[in-house]
Structure formats: structure tokens, C-alpha cells
Structure 1
């Protein structure tokens, strides 16, 4: 298939720039995998689409304030986007600068793009592909981010980050630091909705996938099969595996909240299945790319936002729900003026051919 097959026309005013006041006030498009039919709902109605015994799988990664601004000793301004936290206190990061910094370059951190330097500094200690390895010279990277870090809003949000984003570009169940983009399907849940789901007998469990900046990279190959996915770290632990086993035994469905949860579960399943529809525990990097023709071994239904044209994420949805069905659903969403992308509305999708 061609990348251009996944194009659709999206009016700019449908790209959500700010979150709604209420997390659960978003709209929700239901795409029925058995019939291909589409219907339109409020996200708060999600409880009506889930049955006692179903299992929700959330991604509990926490978005770090990963964008830092700085100044080189020569005076040149730089912008840093931390991609990955390393165990030794160093980080891997993208750096924007007029000239690429060399090994040993000292970067003084500034509160914003125009401010004077602070007491914090980072030193370039090496490269890893397109990423720079940075180590704190003064203080710690975690402390720098707490004081001077900015939330790494996606490139299609055309404004500076603010204090509200520290709360709203974060799920209410975020726990493990490491993402530079939010698992956006989870943004629609608040504690009251989670309580309602639990009272209905719907179980929940967590995976961790630290979303990287590569999630926004375009597909540059004409043939989607030639695309090389970026690498992201994930963990599917024993508690998650046991929850899936129990779900299978009681006849429930595994419902992934977001494409990151889908990719986590299907990565683990591709590595090892311990039973039909149940992966073994997995921890490590993944470059899994799910596109039409791929098999889904674990996930029965998914909740997801509306994604960019020609992106790997719309390709994943098309693989799950059917190519024609997905493009038709997106066309319906545009016609009804759903809000798109990270702060936008949601879809509830059942796997093609499944209830």
C-alpha cells in the first residue's frame, strides 16, 4: 500500500489547540468492527460500550517537561528535546542549534528561549545516531526539568505551553516518568469515570510505553512496507499478563486504551505467546509497525484519538478496523467536525470481524 492511500483532507480549524474544560466531555465515534457501521456519542457513554469482565489496558507513562532552552558558551541559542532518560543520570536528546554542538560543548540552561542563563548546565558527552548524549554539569537533569522544563506539546499545537498543560497533557493515572508525548487516548479519563467503570465490573491494568518524539515523524517512503519505525521502550509486566489470562478465562475482551497500549501488547505477543490471546511478560525496546495485513494477537477493541493523515497511527487503526472502514469513519468525523489529534475527540473501535 502507498502512504498516500492514507491521506484525508482535514480543515485546520478541526485541530484542537486546547483541552476541553472537562476531560470526559469529548465526543466519541464508535466504529463497529463486525458491521463497519459508525455511530456518534459522548465519551462519558463509554460505560455503555463495555461489559462486566472486559479489561481496560492503560499506558501509565508520565510525560516529562522535556523541552529545555539553553545557550552555548559561544552565545548561540539552542533548544533541547529530551528523548530518553538513561539509568546513569544522563539523557539522550534532540538539539536544535545554528551549528551542531561538538563533544564537550557546555550548554547553559535558560528558563525560556530569550531569558538569561540559569545556574544549571549540561555537557554534550557523545552521540547515538541522531541523538546527543547529555550529562548534567551542575544539579541534575530531573531538577532542571522541574524548574525550567516545558511540556513538549506536539508540533501541530500552535502555541506555547502553559501551566494548564502540566496537568492536562498528562493522564490522571500517569506514574512512570519517561514520555515526551502523551498517550492521548488516556486523557479522556478522569477519576469519576474510572470509578464508574470499576463499579460496573470492568477491570483495568497497566503497561508502560515511553512515547518518543518519533511518534510525530512522517512516513517518508512511498510504500508503507518500507517505513522504518522509531524505537520506544516498553514493559508488559507479570501483573498485566495475569490480568489478560483472567480476562480470557471469563470471556471478556481486552480493550487497549491508545495505540501505545496496542503496540505494547502486540510487541509482547510477537515475542512470545503463553496462551491463545495472551502474551508473555516483555521489557525492552520495540520498533513494531502495525499496518494493514498485520495480525492482532491480543487486542479485541481499542480507544484512540483521531490521527494525522498518512501517519503510522492511522495505519495502525486501519490495520485493526479495516482500511475502507477507517477512512470512511475519518470522513464522517470531519463532516461532523470532530476535534482532531492530541487534545481532540476519541474513537472506540472493535477489531474487524469481532463483536
Structure 2
């Protein structure tokens, strides 16, 4: 039995191994396309199980006047820093994960075994942080000696762009711009909402000209988006919490579009998670500022979003599993086999998939 064998019937309860497929390492994109907006796009139709090989610039052809395209306006900040440990001056790699409260951050450190509670991590002559706690996931909690404004000013100047672990090269100056969407406004993410990386100003103008409403939400994507699922029983997997905001105006627009019978198209999995996490009862999106650890997997019903533009994701990843909530899992794996055969580019700097 091959990894891509398609079964005649779907199991009622999925397990992690149901979302495995063989991804050749050479198809994992290490660099973005030469120009933003040059990606390919695999279109899959959930109702007819038809596939089309298209280009991201064709995306507008699948939209209708009155539809609503929801995008994530989070901004990736340069979260990787080098500090020196007190007394020894040993270099420590610091990866900023999220701000917990004023002056207090959760971080990852390397080498972790040499950084303990009570240590000081010095970033320059004026800025240092005290290690005040450990986290259950192997990270550390630090407290700065300066204001968050002063610390973030330093980070934006001296930090390095984080890249996903499957991009094996070091970050380069161009990553500061290319590992960032054109919609990025609100700093807070350590990973880009990759579906948005495909868009350039030309495509946005075409979408707006067609009469499609473009609506922002914010979800600050954390490192948990790359964390492996370690349990076969999907009900036992716990997502890392991520902060999201949906404004009153965005919620009103989305709900009005749904009331008129038009579609909500999500630009990426982060948008789906934010919108679905805002629900209280029914299908109305609620204005909200909150943290979500919502894990979406079939056969959960997607109540807000009608179509999804996403990237081609890793085997057994939460992103691939979420995509299977929009389309039959067997057909999704068939589409992934097609993408492998046609040598699509995979993962963050790779090509797109539109699920209708």
C-alpha cells in the first residue's frame, strides 16, 4: 500500500496517519519566486472533484462580485537575536515567541541546556533580560530591564528574520521583505501568513475592481504552526495559543456578505482559525480580542468560510489537516499527489492551492 492509496470510504474518525503523503525534499521551496505574484495555483473543486493547474493571477477569475476576501494583516517581526550570557559571555541564540505582558516575553534559546533561571542575557551595553521561568515546551520566560517600546526598537533594528525550520539556509536581507505580505501592518507574528505572500498590488487592484470586498483580521502566528503533531488521536493534540483580533467593522462586513448569500473566502488557515474562534452561537462572526488554541480537523463543520486559498503543506501538519475540513480527504491527497507529480513548489515559499 502506497502513501497515496485512496480508499473507497472515509473513516468517521480520522487519525494522524490518515494525513501522510510522500513529499520529495527537492520540492520544498528554499527561496520565493523571482517576483511576488509569480506562483502557480492548483484549483480543487470540492463538489465535482475537478482539478485545474492555474496561476495565482487567475485567482480573480474564481471570485464573484459581492464576495468577501478576508486576509491576515499581521506583520512578522525580526524575532531572532544574539545575546551574551552573564559572566561567561557565551553567545546564546534567542528566538522571541510572544509578549506575555509588559516587559515579559516567552522565548526559545539555543543552547537551551546552558540557560537557566537567574541568568542574565545581555543584548548590548544597555539592554539585558533576566531569565525568570521555564515553559512546559522547553522555552524560557524573560523580563527586560527596559520598556517594551525601547526593546522593540532594538529588535527591529538588530533582529534577524525568522524562517521556517524546513528552509535550511540562513536568512538573507531579501527575506525581510519577501517573508512578509503586502498586507502586513501589525507586528506580532514569528511566521508569515503564507497564503498572502502570493499577492502583489496588481492582483489586489483586479480583485477590488471586480467588486470583491477585502477585509482584514489579525492573528499573530506563532512557532506552533510548525510544531509536529505527536499523537495519532487528533482529539489529543493541543495547539499553541495565538492572539487574534477581529474588529467590529470587519465582523459587520463579513456577516452582511453572508446574509446576502455571497461567499467568504479565507486567505490562509490563520484567517479560518480566527473567524471560527470568534463564534459564540450560530454563524455570525463576533468582534473579538482573544487567544485561540482551536484545532480544526474533519469532520468538524466550517461555519463561516466557504472557500480557502492556502499553500501546499507538510505531511501530517495541522495546516494540511485543516484543509481537509474543506474537501474530502481522499480527494485532497489525490490533489497533493498531482501537485507532487507536476512539481509544484511546497510550503511557505511555495505555490498556492485554492479549495472551492
Same-fold call, TM cutoff 0.5: yes
Give the structure 2 partner of residue 85 of structure 1: 99
Task: Point out where structure 2 has 5 or more consecutive residues left out of the alignment.
Answer: 1-13
1:215 aligned to 225, 228, 251, which one?
225
Give the structure 2 partner of residue 122 of structure 1: 129
Task: Point out where structure 1 has 5 or more consecutive residues left out of the alignment.
Answer: 110-116, 351-355
Aligned CA distance change for structure 1 residues 99 and 279 (closer, same or farther; 3 Å)? same
Give the structure 2 partner of residue 137 of structure 1: 145
Q: After TM superposition, give the deviation of residue 78 of structure 1 in Å.
A: 1.6
Aligned CA distance change for structure 1 residues 279 and 138 (closer, same or farther; 3 Å)? closer
Query: 2: distance between equivalents of 1:345 and 1:107?
Result: 39
Task: Report how many residues are paired.
Answer: 339
Q: After TM superposition, give the deviation of residue 118 of structure 1 in Å.
A: 6.0
Contact 2:192/2:221 (CA < 8 Å) preserved in 1? yes
Q: After TM superposition, give the deviation of residue 265 of structure 1 in Å.
A: 0.6
Which 10-residue stretch deviates more, 11-20 or 278-287? 278-287
Q: After TM superposition, give the deviation of residue 100 of structure 1 in Å.
A: 4.5
Q: After TM superposition, give the deviation of residue 180 of structure 1 in Å.
A: 0.4
Q: After TM superposition, give the deviation of residue 47 of structure 1 in Å.
A: 0.7
Contact 2:103/2:146 (CA < 8 Å) preserved in 1? no
Aligned CA distance change for structure 1 residues 118 and 154 (closer, same or farther; 3 Å)? farther
Give the structure 1 partner of residue 342 of structure 2: 336
Q: After TM superposition, give the deviation of residue 138 of structure 1 in Å.
A: 5.6
Aligned CA distance change for structure 1 residues 23 and 102 (closer, same or farther; 3 Å)? same
Give the structure 1 partner of residue 315 of structure 2: 309
- How do 1:1-355 residues align onto structure 2 when only pairs under 5 Å count? 1-73=14-86, 74-97=88-111, 99-109=113-123, 120-130=127-137, 131-137=139-145, 140-269=150-279, 271-273=280-282, 277-350=283-356
Query: 1: distance between equivalents of 2:153 and 2:336?
Result: 42
Which 10-residue stretch deviates more, 37-46 or 142-151? 142-151
Secondary structure class of the residue paired with 2:37? helix
Query: 1: distance between equivalents of 2:338 and 2:44?
Result: 11
Contact 1:257/1:303 (CA < 8 Å) preserved in 2? yes
Which 10-residue stretch deviates more, 167-176 or 3-12? 3-12
Secondary structure class of the residue paired with 2:157? helix
Q: After TM superposition, give the deviation of residue 98 of structure 1 in Å.
A: 5.0
Query: 1: distance between equivalents of 2:235 and 2:196?
Result: 29
Query: 2: distance between equivalents of 1:300 and 1:86?
Result: 34
* C-alpha RMSD of the superposition: 1.6
Which 10-residue stretch deviates more, 313-322 or 129-138? 129-138
